[in-house]
């Protein structure tokens, strides 16, 4: 079997998930990878057959999307050409983790595909949404990468085509401990803003993973670290608690490890607002934004909120079963 696997590289989560799934997919056939997007901090540790700048997300330094930079990065003529040239028709199975060019190529060439990933779960209205729904956000989640079949991943199996998150092997095999530090990953904030936010909590030590850092750098009670899979895994496994955005992979891993979480969605990213709604229902503290009340909120979180835990160890076998036996 020849398998085409489209991986979105607009963030680290899609790449992290693909590296875990690839060995299992290779048991079923020869896998060619299409990597699309250019603002991930992680490298895909596998041969890449097709590469595209694709459609990427960019951020400000204050917790929101940079819409102007996103718009400027889009080359419609190049996209049209890539859609035409992408050889999806040569494959027995096309797996798409929320990637637009692949979806458009399959639609144009009448090639069946499977949308397999977190965003696929939003085809179900059973998946939690924020009180204020976004029509544009709902359209993007449901129509941006259309497919013939959907296999979704989410914190809970909200529907019959949804399974629980794919967790990295290093996390599955880890023995969590509490060394007292708080692991922070807020990619839509820059280091000056992060220093302003966290330097006032003198009684707490923060390990902050920053897209700006090339090496470890200490600023008072903050240790800035470059985004690295191995270092982030180690920090999270031994953390007292996790502060992260409203993404999917990091909260999932923190939940599997039984760590206390604070989730702060990137403003303007509707999927993250939906994730926050789901986490809130599970008992996780979520914030719309960081403002002047943050010291009081942080204190409440430290004193009143408890970790939650789910066992996600069977997620990959369940995912493969749905993918190849349906």
CATH assignment at residue 106? 3.40.50
**Confidence band, pLDDT 50/70/90 cuts, at residue 67:** low
Instruction: Kindly state whether residues 194 and 144 are assigned to the same domain.
Output: no
Q: In this structure, is residue 163 part of a structural domain? A: yes
State residue 62's pLDDT score. Answer: 66
Residue 76 lies in a domain: yes
Please give the biggest Cα pair distance in the chain.
59
Question: Is residue 321 domain-shared with residue 276, that is, in the same domain?
Answer: no
Q: How far apart are CA 67 and CA 319, in angstroms?
A: 34
CATH classification at residue 194 = 3.40.50.2000
* Contact between 308 and 255 (Cβ < 8 Å): yes
Mark whether 131 and 121 lie in a shared domain.
Answer: yes
User: How crowded is residue 306: how many other Cβ atoms within 10 Å of its Cβ?
Assistant: 8
In a domain, 309, yes or no: no
Looking at the fold, whether 291 and 318 belong to one and the same domain comes out as: no
Tokens encoding 269:
């990213």
Determine the average pLDDT of the residues in 244-252: 95
On whether the CB atoms of residues 292 and 85 are closer than 8 A, the answer is: no
Do 231 and 319 share a structural domain? Answer: no
- Domain residues for the domain of 56 are 2-168+314-325
Q: Look at residue 83 in the predicted model and tell me its pLDDT.
A: 94
Q: Compute the distance between CA of residue 72 and CA of residue 80 in angstroms, rounded to an integer.
A: 16
Give per-residue pLDDT as tens, 76-119: 788 889 999 999 999 999 999 999 999 999 999 999 999 999 99
Its pTM stands at: 0.90
Same domain as 24, residue 70:
yes
- Do 290 and 64 meet the contact criterion of CB atoms below 8 Å apart? no
Indicate if 144 and 200 belong to the same structural domain.
no
Give yes or no for a contact between 54 and 9, defined as CB atoms under 8 angstroms apart. yes
pLDDT digits (tens, 9 = 90+) for 129-184: 999 999 988 998 999 899 999 999 999 999 999 999 999 999 999 999 999 999 99
Query: Which of the four pLDDT bands, split at 50, 70 and 90, describes residue 43?
Result: low
% pLDDT > 90, the chain: 75
Residues 142 and 28 occupy one common structural domain: yes
pLDDT over threshold 80, residue 242: yes
Judge if 8 and 123 occupy the same domain: yes
With tokens 């692991």, the residue in question is 183
| Shared domain check, 152 and 15 | yes
* Structure tokens belonging to residue 179: 């060394």
Any bridge partners for residue 207, and if so which? 183, 223
- 241-259 mean pLDDT: 96
pLDDT higher than threshold 70 for residue 68: no
Q: How far apart are CA 261 and CA 183, in angstroms?
A: 10
Structure tokens at 45: 């540790």
- Cβ pair 187, 181 in contact under 8 A: no
pLDDT tens sequence across 185-220: 998 899 999 999 999 999 999 999 998 889 999 999
The tally of domains found in the chain comes to 2
Region 19-41 average pLDDT: 86
3-class secondary-structure state, position 53 = coil
- pLDDT higher than threshold 60 for residue 298: yes
pLDDT of residue 77: 82
**Would the pLDDT of 120 be above 90?**
yes
């Amino acid at each position: 079997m020849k398998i085409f696997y489209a991986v979105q590289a607009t963030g680290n989560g899609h790449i992290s998930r693909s590296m875990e799934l690839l060995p299992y997919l290779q048991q079923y056939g020869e896998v060619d990878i299409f990597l699309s997007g250019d603002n991930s901090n992680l490298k895909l540790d596998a041969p890449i057959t097709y590469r595209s700048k694709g459609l990427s997300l960019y951020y400000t330094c204050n917790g929101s999307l940079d819409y102007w930079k996103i718009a400027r990065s889009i080359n419609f003529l190049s996209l049209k050409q890539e859609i035409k040239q992408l050889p999806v028709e040569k494959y027995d199975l096309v797996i798409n983790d929320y990637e637009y060019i692949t979806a458009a190529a399959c639609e144009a060439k009448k090639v069946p595909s499977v949308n397999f990933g977190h965003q696929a779960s939003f085809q179900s209205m059973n998946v939690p949404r924020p009180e204020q729904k976004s029509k544009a956000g709902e359209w993007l989640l449901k129509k941006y990468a259309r497919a013939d079949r959907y296999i979704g991943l989410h914190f809970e199996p909200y529907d019959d085509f949804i399974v629980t998150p794919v967790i990295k092997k290093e996390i599955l095999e880890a023995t969590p401990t509490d060394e007292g530090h708080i692991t922070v990953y807020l990619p839509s904030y820059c280091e000056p803003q992060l220093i302003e936010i966290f330097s006032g909590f003198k009684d707490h030590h923060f390990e902050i993973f920053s897209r700006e850092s090339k090496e470890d750098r200490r600023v008072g009670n903050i240790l800035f670290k470059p985004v690295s899979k191995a270092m982030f895994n180690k920090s999270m496994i031994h953390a007292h608690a996790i502060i992260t955005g409203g993404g999917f992979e990091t909260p999932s891993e923190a939940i599997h490890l039984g760590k206390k979480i604070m989730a702060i969605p990137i403003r303007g990213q509707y999927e993250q607002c939906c994730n926050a709604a789901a986490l809130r229902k599970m008992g996780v503290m979520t914030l719309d934004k960081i403002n002047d009340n943050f010291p009081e909120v942080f204190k409440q979180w430290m004193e009143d909120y408890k970790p939650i835990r789910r066992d996600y160890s069977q997620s990959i076998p369940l995912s493969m079963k749905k993918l190849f036996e349906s």
